[in-house]
Structure formats: C-alpha cells, structure tokens
Chain A
Amino acid sequence: MQFPTTIPPKEQPSELPVPKLEIRNLTKVFGQGKQRITAVDDVSLSLAPNEFSCIVGPSGCGKSTLLSIAAGLSKATSGKILVDGAPVPGPGADRGMVFQNYTLFPWLSVAENVAFGLRLKGMAKAELNRRVAHYLDIVGLSGSAKAYPKALSGGMKQRVAIARALANDPEVLLMDEPFGALDSQTKEQLQSFFHDLWAKSHITVLMITHDVEEAIFLSQRVHIMDKTGQLHETITIDLPTHRELDMKLTREFLDYKRHIVHALR
C-alpha cells in the first residue's frame, strides 16, 4: 500500500494558504568540537490553520528540542519559526504549550491555574470567570475548581493543563508528550477526549509523541523524525475526520501503523 508522502524540502509553502505555524530550515547544534551534537538537522514543516499534526521519532531524536524552539523557549542555531507568516523571536501567548509533567502551579487552585494566562492579559473579572468555568466544563473538572493540584490524579492534572492552555486562546497549541506519563486507560480516554475537543474547536495543534497509535489516531499528518535529527517522512493520515478509539483496530489504521513502525526502525 502506498501513502501520499511528502519529503519536506520539496514542499512548496507558497502554493498553500499562509500556514498557521511554519518551522523553516531549523537546525539546533549542542556543544562544540568533538562533543558537537546536531539535535535538529534542517527541519522544515508547516501546519495549516486547524491542522492537527504529530511528530514521532525515537527518543533522543531531537523532537522535544524542536518543539521547545517552536515555543520560543530555546534558541535555534539557525532557521526560523513563523506564526501566520511572521517570524517570532521568543515565547508568547500565541503558542500555548502542554508539557508532560510538573506544570500546574501548585499554589493556585484548579480554577486559578486555568485563569493564569487570562489574568496576565488583564481580562475583566466577569469574562474571566465565565471563560474559566467554560473550559473547566469542557475538560469535565467543574467539580474540582477549588481543589489544589496536589489533590488531583495525573489524568486530571493533565486535563487542567490542557484547559489552561486552551482558555488562553493560543494560535497554535504545542504539546510535548502530554499523555506520556499516564496509564494506558487514562491515556486512551484523554486521546478520545482531545480528539473530540479538537474536532469541535478546530485549533491548530502540533504534538510530540513516541506512541505511534496516538499519533495516527489524532493527526491529519504525521511527521517522522529519525535519530540524525532530520525529518524522515511526512505521512498524510487519510482517515475519516470523526474518529473513535475502535478505529485503532481497523485495517487502514493498522496499515498506517505498520508503515510508521517500519519507518522508525
């Protein structure tokens, strides 16, 4: 079976509408001389508005470095990050981020965590409360609004982190293995939940994962990185837009999985 495959350098961004997020010829080199390691090697990729893409790759392939640079949290050795066609020099509220761990502020209640970015913007109290309530409702945690993070389970914490990122209304949501630390049941629940959320809201998402099924299930395109830090292949996932967990057992899904697993070897 053949998949529509695009090799990044051949991609012509000019033919497409202005991408929401564009990573252009990004290279990141750590160290000098003999210790010189190229973590990300000339990677270019772009996300159309409302697109959900995943980057998969073996551990240590530089995918987290790539995302951290996209968020503006570390500097690239060379290359550019563009949001809506304009280069961005540092981190900002336009690129929300969900990390794998440790990121709820323990001194704030669940509701205050979700309100963090809104408060920074100086949003009026009534509007802020409405928004926080709305997003807590979406992630199903209205009942825990006043709880402190230490009282929550891992899955609940990650739902709060997602609500906090979404409430801030970012142009692009960047996610670094957001479900990686969760047990498999909670993980699948959150995948399904997040897919529905994306289908409703149509935000633009770039997510990193080492879980191939997760990548196929959630994405419209899957970018495969290899150990050398290069973008190996981009696969368009031609599955119905509405997806349920059972889809993971279908023939087409497994064909995609087989292809990606082989590519990763």
Chain B
Amino acid sequence: MAASQIPHSSDNRSPEDRPPEDRREPALDRRYLRPSVFWSIRQGFPGWLQVTLVAVSLAIPILIWASLSYGQFVDARFLPTPSAVIVRGFSMLLEGDLIVDIFASSARVIAGFSFAALVGIPVGLAMGTFYSMDSLLGGFVRTARYLPIAAFVPLIIIWAGIDEASKIIIIFLGIVFYNATMIADAVKFIPNETLNVAYTLGATRWDVVRRVILPATLPSILDTLRVNIAGAWNFLVLSELIAAENGLGFTIVRSQRYLQTDRAMFCILVICMIGLATDFAFKLLFRLWLPWADSKMS
C-alpha cells in the first residue's frame, strides 16, 4: 500500500498549488535529486507514514499467526490461536505461579545486569580513557567477548552449582564484556579539544575523568545498558533452561514437556512486554536525566 506511492512521490503538490510560472512539469533530470517521501534519508518523515509502517510491521506477523492457527493449517497443539494464548495467560496469572515466575526471572536479570553494569562501566571507562588500561584490560575483554557463553553453561553449573549464583553468573558473563567495549568506544568519541580545554582550565587527570569523560559518556552508557538488557533476558532464559525451579524460562521448558505451547508462547510474550517496558523506561530516564543530550535513540 505504502510502497505503491513511490513512483508518484516525485512531486506531491498538484499543479494548481504551484505558482503560475512553476506550472510546468518538473524535468525528470538526472542532475537533480528527485524528491521522495518513502525513501527520505534524514530529510524528514511524515508522522502518519511512520505510524502506518510500524502498524504494518507489527500486524503482518500477527496476521500470519492468526491465519495459520484460526484457519487450522497447523495443529492447535503446535500453534495455538492468539485468543487461546491470551485466555491461557489470564488463567496462569490467576493461578499465581506466573507472578512468582516473573519475579524470580526479573530478580535474576536485575542481579546479573547490575553486576555487569557495576563492572562493565568502570572497566569500559578505564579502557577508553587510559592507553595503559586499554592494553591491560582490553586484550582480555575484547577476546572474552567472543567466548560462547552458552558453551560455558555446563562448566558454570559445575563450578557454581545450580542455585541462583550460576544463573546470575551466566547473565553477568553474557553482557559484561559488551558493556565494557561499547563504553570504551564511546569514550574514544569524545573530541580531543573537549579534554584539552579542561586541562587549560586547570583540570587534573582525575578531574578530567570525573568531570569531563564521565558526564560526556553518560548518554552512551545509558544507551549501552538499554541495548544490553535485551541480552540479559536472552541469557536468563538460557540459564533457566538448564536448571531452575521457577522462572519464565523454566516454565517454557516445562510447557514443552507437556506440549503446552500456549503456556510457552504466553511466557515469551511476557518477556517481550517486560523488554519493551524497560526500553521505554530507559528512554524516559534519558530524556529526564540528560536533557542536554541529543537523543540518538529512536
């Protein structure tokens, strides 16, 4: 629907709207950039089209799901209908177990994510700031980023047991190296002049770290955390798949055993909703806390 407008979008004013001397058809000349609404690159985008496209992109998968399940192209045991998933979800919420699962999983994510932030932010700042720290820590951190954490899960369980500790360690290891490298890169994007002017105002190195590098990278730190919390949920599910007594990932595995696809799908939806909510919370925090920054977040 939207795509069909492309050929006609070369001029969106009708001839009557143009001043008289301008009432010729514009030459289709290769010398000039042809206007486009749909393929606009940083030249503005109409709100209605944005809303439409977002709605389309969300509606298509739901439509496919609905037509496959309601149309009974797929066995309901493999692919329950959307309404069945929602009905099942409500009964899970009423039974109360789901609330326990949500709290258990959220607590693990918050713990693992917080440790990863607590370690990753200072390590990243140090790596980005000092050549020495970049050499000392960077080699290890950048290498560790490519370690397949999923492959470490059995080892982590041997080392840390099957209690909460192992799950938090899995989440921590899954994202801490990304936190550090992304923040280190953000520090390197601070213009030299910004640091130099601080020195000429009498700043010591410590002043520069605390009063220039830290505030200058805050937007990127927040952005990094926002992106990596999605990773934290991934590693949570991974950790709960192996060994757990509760949690959303655990419930998904148990649902598989009894072929309760509706339960599993509702749990996935819940994780998705929590993810959207935290994403929104980070954006809100960004806007309230860092009004000076131009938001790079969309």
Contacts and interface: CB of A to CB of B under 8 A. Distances in A.
Given A92-B202, A105-B212, A97 B292 contact: no
Nearest to B195: A73
B202 A102 contact: no
Contacts of B292: 106-108, 148-150
A157 interface: no
B294 A150 contact: yes
A105 B291 contact: no
A121 B202 contact: yes
Interface string B161-192: 00000000000000000000000000000010
Interface in A75-131: 90-93, 95-97, 99, 101-103, 105-108, 116-117, 120-121
Interface string A50-89: 0000000000000000001001110000000000000000
A195 interface: no
B197 A97 contact: yes
A161 B197 CA distance: 10
A105 B215 contact: yes
Contacts of B203: 120
Q: Which among A71, A73, A95 has the greatest number of chain B C-beta atoms within 10 A?
A: A73
Contacts of B290: 107
A104 to B, nearest CB: 9
A102 B201 contact: no
B200 A71 contact: yes
B293 A73 contact: no
Contacts of B194: 102-103, 105
Nearest to B218: A107
A105 B196 CA distance: 12
A127 B176 CA distance: 44
A116 B201 contact: yes
Interface residues of A, number: 32
Interface residues on B, range: 20 to 34
A164 interface: yes
Contacts of B196: 68, 71, 73, 91, 97, 99
A90 B202 CA distance: 11
A97 B198 contact: no
Contacts of B294: 150
Interface in B208-225: 211-212, 215-216, 218
B209 to A, nearest CB: 13
B193 interface: yes
A121 B197 CA distance: 15
A107 B202 contact: no
Nearest to B203: A120
A108 B194 CA distance: 13
A234 interface: no
A93 B202 contact: yes
B227 to A, nearest CB: 21
B197 A107 contact: no
A168 interface: yes
B121 to A, nearest CB: 17
A95 B200 contact: yes
A178 to B, nearest CB: 12
B210 to A, nearest CB: 11
Contact of B199 (A91, A106, A149, A174): A91
Interface of A: 68, 71-73, 90-93, 95-97, 99, 101-103, 105-108, 116-117, 120-121, 148-150, 161, 164-165, 168, 170, 174
User: Closest 5 CB pairs between A and B?
Assistant: A93-B202, A117-B201, A91-B199, A97-B200, A148-B292
Interface of B: 191, 193-194, 196-203, 207, 211-212, 215-216, 218, 290-294
Given A120-B207, A149-B292, A174-B200, 18 more contacts: A73-B199, A93-B201, A96-B201, A97-B196, A97-B200, A99-B193, A103-B193, A105-B216, A106-B216, A107-B293, A108-B215, A108-B292, A117-B202, A120-B201, A120-B211, A150-B294, A161-B197, A164-B201
24 contacts: A71-B196, A71-B200, A72-B199, A90-B199, A91-B200, A93-B200, A93-B202, A96-B200, A96-B201, A97-B196, A99-B193, A99-B196, A102-B191, A102-B193, A105-B215, A106-B293, A107-B216, A107-B218, A116-B211, A120-B203, A120-B211, A161-B197, A165-B200, A174-B200
